[in-house]
Amino acid sequence: MELSGKVAIVTGVSSGIGRAVAEALLAKGMAVAGWGRHAPEGLTHERFQFFTCDVRDEHSVIEAFTNTQRELGPEIQVLVNNAGIGKFGAVANFKSEDWHDLFDTNVHGLFYCTRVALPQMQQQKGGHIVNVASLAGTAGSAHMAGYCATKYAVRGFSDALFKEVRPQGIRVTCVMPGSVETNFNGAEPGSEPNPHKMQPEDIAAAIVHALAAPQATMISEIQLRPTNPK
Query: Which residues are catalytically annotated?
Result: 147
Q: Please, are residues 17 and 204 in contact by the beta-carbon 8 Å criterion?
A: yes
Of 10, 7, 29, give the one whose Cα is nearest residue 20.
Answer: 10
Q: Please, are residues 28 and 44 in contact by the beta-carbon 8 Å criterion?
A: no
